Amino acid sequence: MMQFTDADPDFWIQLKGHNAGRPLREKIPNSIGIKTDPDLLVPDFLFYTLEYLFQSGAFLPMLRGSVVPFLTRRAILEVISSHWRAQANRKSAWQRCAV
- pLDDT tens by residue, 45-54: 999 999 999 9
- Residue 36 maps to a domain: yes
- Residue 29 maps to a domain: yes
pTM above 0.75, yes or no: yes
Residue type, 49: T
Number of folded domains that form the chain: 1
- Residue 99 maps to a domain: no
- Residue 77 maps to a domain: yes
- Which residues share a beta bridge with 70? 16, 64
The DSSP secondary structure of 52-71, one letter per residue, reads HHHHTTTTGGG-B-SSS-B-
Cα 51 to Cα 12: distance, rounded to the nearest angstrom: 11
- The whole domain housing 12 covers 2-94
pLDDT digits (tens, 9 = 90+) for 38-94: 999 999 999 999 999 999 999 999 999 989 999 999 999 999 999 998 888 776 656
